[in-house]
Chains A and B, each alone.
Chain A
Amino acid sequence: MLYFTLASKAYARNLHYRGAHMLHNIASALFGYLYACIWIGIGQDRPLGEYGVHGMIGYIAFTQASLWISGFITNGLGIPQAVRTGQISLDLMRPVHLFVLCMCREWGQIAYQFVYKSLPIYLLYMLLFSLTLPTHWTTLLYSLIALASAAYMSICMNYIIGATSLWTTESSWLYWVNHALINLLAGFFIPVEWLPSWLQTISWMSPYPYLLYVPTRIYLGYDQSASLIGSLAWCIVFTLLCLLVTVIVRRKVEVQGG
């Protein structure tokens, strides 16, 4: 119940800024539109593999909308700010595990972003580019599981990034590096199979393809549910990592102000 309350508070807090977020959605949708225009330009004179021009538009539309689930997570889950203000010492004293506390709050944030950002943006693209929904309900179900796993992995990544703020004041750079790597290695703009082979190898050795590429491929019907095994495996690895990081954080805790 406590976990649900933490999540629902984060969701409710965001509801106050719906108007501003709708303006932000226009900018976000514009980004996807720009990338779609680039693929339309490239696809004018040449085929675009198994996707084709319309397939690539659908691909970009889905990855752009999914960014709000697995990409745009609160910087370090708010831990850098808590370190700066000294709030982290109180958070560590609470009778709730720090990782679970941060995670629950972020789930509320992600749920809000899914409803008020991902869905409106994707609906806009559906109208604009005449996209259709998958014909089988299982495809939708597997896509949602893949996206939920992606969101969880992203939460874990940001927890680890946030924890680094106990060692450096510049942890926000790691957030942006993570974001740049999502753009490059997660198949946000370029499907992973079109990366140079050395970069493909790096990409598949990392969890990044499971953040956007795998959910998108499942949604578009190119991949089956078997791809979810990789997502689940990474979720387990990240859970263990986050628990380990919490143990280290508890020994290191340091505040920068108050």
Chain B
Amino acid sequence: MSIKYWLDLYAVLIRSSIRSRMQYKLNFMLGTVLAAVIQIAEFLMIAIVLNKFGAVKGWSLYEVGYLFAVMTLSKTLYRTFASDVHHLENYLTTGELDQLLTRPVPILMALMSQNIRLMPGELLQGGAILYWSMHGLMSSGQIHWIALPYTVFVIFTGAIILFSIGLATATVGFWITRINELQTLTEDAAQTAVRYPLILYPSWLRSILLVVIPVGFVNYVPSLFILRGEYGSWLVYGIAPLAGLFLYLGLKFWKFGLTRYQSTGS
């Protein structure tokens, strides 16, 4: 079967997932508004501090806003299409993964089309902060229009990196079943850390965020060139093969993990 066949099938599954979610419109609207409130509150936290105290280690409020927005948008993209990869623990503890295994589609595709989460609240909020920060940086002449396509590019590569990390973390669940605690470390804490410039952290922590859990490549590393012109454009282009490599390793690990899956639950 061709790639087109699988993509068409995936599109059908996604459409049906969205339709099922839209059966509860009021809940969807409530979720959207409240998600936006959460995002605003999170950004206000750092915006207030930087507004009061000025730049932090040479990073202005606009620059930190850019880091925050790119991370938010990459994460939104990842969680929209791979919500249930993140929630694999539910499938493992209840034994629901067995049902997916019986379907005539690759298990990852079945999982990724289960509960597509439309996240307009996060998308709007991330987009608004990105617009505000890039507008501010353009007005001061720090960046030019070319930063825009670069930014779109790194949002997509960032989503791939986050997906790869999420997939690798979920795969560990095939051995230990409960992964929420691990996800707090590899996803929540790591993603929160790189909303701020890595220069704030000691070198051991920076190394972890670039090598062990490579979230630093989602926003911080590309922003060194996009916002500050440091190193060169290869810094941005180089992230694509790196994201590809992380994805390849993540998928390999996932396939290996699946062979170790033992059903649980009632």
Q: Give A contacts to B, CB under 8 Å.
A: 20-21, 23-24, 26-28, 30-31, 33-34, 37-38, 40-42, 44, 46, 168-170, 173-174, 176-177, 179-181, 183-184, 189-190, 194-196, 199
* B-side contacts of A189, CB under 8 Å: 45, 49
Q: Say which residue of B31, B185, B193 sits within 8 Å of A26 (CB atoms).
A: B185
* B-side contacts of A42, CB under 8 Å: 49, 53, 56
**Cα-based distance from A190 to B49 in the complex (angstroms):** 7
10 residue pairs from A and B, CB less than 8 Å apart: A23-B185, A38-B200, A40-B200, A41-B57, A168-B27, A170-B34, A173-B30, A181-B41, A183-B41, A190-B45
**Cα-based distance from A33 to B193 in the complex (angstroms):** 10
Q: Are B48 and A21 in contact (CB under 8 A)?
A: no
A176 and chain B: residue at smallest CB distance: B38
Q: Say which residue of B31, B53, B192 sits within 8 Å of A170 (CB atoms).
A: B31
Contact with A along B158-190 (1 / 0, CB 8 A): 000000000000000000001011101100110
Q: Say which residue of B38, B46, B181 sits within 8 Å of A24 (CB atoms).
A: B181
Query: B231 an interface residue at 8 Å Cβ cutoff?
Result: no
CB distance from B57 to the nearest CB of A (A): 5
Other A-B contacts than A37-B200, A180-B41, A194-B48, 13 sampled, CB-CB below 8 A, are A20-B178, A23-B182, A24-B180, A27-B185, A34-B201, A37-B201, A37-B202, A37-B205, A44-B57, A46-B53, A176-B34, A179-B38, A194-B52
* A-side contacts of B189, CB under 8 Å: 27, 30-31, 34
Q: Say which residue of A30, A31, A170, A176 sits within 8 Å of B27 (CB atoms).
A: A170
**Cα-based distance from A99 to B145 in the complex (angstroms):** 57
A170 and chain B: residue at smallest CB distance: B27
Q: Are B185 and A170 in contact (CB under 8 A)?
A: no
A38 and B184 contact, Cβ closer than 8 Å, known pairs A183-B45, A184-B44: no
Q: Are A27 and B27 in contact (CB under 8 A)?
A: no
Q: Give B contacts to A, CB under 8 Å.
A: 24, 26-27, 30-31, 34-35, 37-38, 41-42, 44-46, 48-49, 52-54, 56-57, 178, 180-182, 184-185, 188-189, 192-193, 196, 199-202, 205
* B-side contacts of A183, CB under 8 Å: 41-42, 45
* B-side contacts of A37, CB under 8 Å: 200-202, 205
The dominant DSSP class at the B interface is helix
Q: Are B41 and A184 in contact (CB under 8 A)?
A: yes
Q: Say which residue of A21, A30, A196, A199 sits within 8 Å of B181 (CB atoms).
A: A21
**Cα-based distance from A128 to B181 in the complex (angstroms):** 22
**Cα-based distance from A33 to B189 in the complex (angstroms):** 10
**A-B contacts, CB under 8 A, total:** 91
Q: What are the 7 A-B residue pairs with the smallest beta carbon separation, nearest first?
A: A180-B41, A173-B34, A27-B184, A27-B185, A24-B181, A180-B38, A41-B200
**Cα-based distance from A41 to B185 in the complex (angstroms):** 23
* A-side contacts of B42, CB under 8 Å: 180, 183
CB distance from B52 to the nearest CB of A (A): 6
CB distance from A256 to the nearest CB of B (A): 12
* B-side contacts of A26, CB under 8 Å: 185
CB distance from B26 to the nearest CB of A (A): 8
Q: Are B57 and A23 in contact (CB under 8 A)?
A: no
* A-side contacts of B182, CB under 8 Å: 23
* B-side contacts of A177, CB under 8 Å: 34, 37-38, 41
**Cα-based distance from A177 to B30 in the complex (angstroms):** 11
B39 and chain A: residue at smallest CB distance: A180
CB distance from A149 to the nearest CB of B (A): 23
Q: Are A196 and B48 in contact (CB under 8 A)?
A: yes
A184 and chain B: residue at smallest CB distance: B41
CB distance from B210 to the nearest CB of A (A): 15
* A-side contacts of B45, CB under 8 Å: 183-184, 189-190
Q: Are A169 and B24 in contact (CB under 8 A)?
A: yes
* A-side contacts of B184, CB under 8 Å: 24, 27-28
**Cα-based distance from A24 to B182 in the complex (angstroms):** 7
* A-side contacts of B52, CB under 8 Å: 194
Q: Are B34 and A174 in contact (CB under 8 A)?
A: yes
* B-side contacts of A27, CB under 8 Å: 181, 184-185, 188-189
* A-side contacts of B57, CB under 8 Å: 41, 44
Q: Are B196 and A34 in contact (CB under 8 A)?
A: yes
* B-side contacts of A170, CB under 8 Å: 27, 30-31, 34
**Cα-based distance from A16 to B56 in the complex (angstroms):** 43
**Cα-based distance from A184 to B45 in the complex (angstroms):** 6
* A-side contacts of B201, CB under 8 Å: 34, 37
